[in-house]
Amino acid sequence: MLAVVENLPEWFDDTARTRSVPTDLRNQTGFVAVSDQWVIGFITLYVAEGRMHIGWLAVDRQMQGHGIGSRLLDAAEAMARELRIDELATYTLSESIAYQPYELTRRFYWKHGFKVYKRSRTDNPRCPEEIWISKQIKP
């Protein structure tokens, strides 16, 4: 899974690649997409405040646009249903930040029915605002 992250530096900065993702992979649950014995994507999940949260979602660059991310989201939704959780949530960079990789990220989530439920300012000058987004899970 870390190989997928290593090859996506525009989404995963040094701290994410070396500290955050490795730690979260050990401590969160989730799903892995595999093709020919190679990891091509993954999603990590945790429950907090009554929501199923996406910690990380990544798909190998060569496999993006082939439905892998959508299938990982489907698996997350199925797990939420099993746990009787009716909301799937995550956060990302705000639309106020014109950065192509995260424009693609937001477009992916909008396509899957996510909506903004909270905005928060940060002390990071490269990311002054985050949006918290979620979608309702149908039973």
CATH classification (class only), 2-136: alpha beta
Domain assignments of the chain as residue spans, ordered by start: 2-136
Q: What is the pLDDT of residues 19-78, one digit of tens each?
A: 999 999 999 999 999 999 999 999 999 999 999 999 999 999 999 999 999 999 999 999
CA–CA separation, 120 and 92 (whole Å): 10
| pLDDT one-digit tens code per residue, 83-102 | 999 999 999 999 888 888 98
Tokens for 97, please give them. Answer: 């930040």
Non-local CB neighbours of 135 within 8 Å, separated by 6+ positions: 87, 88, 89, 112, 113, 114, 115
pTM equals 0.92
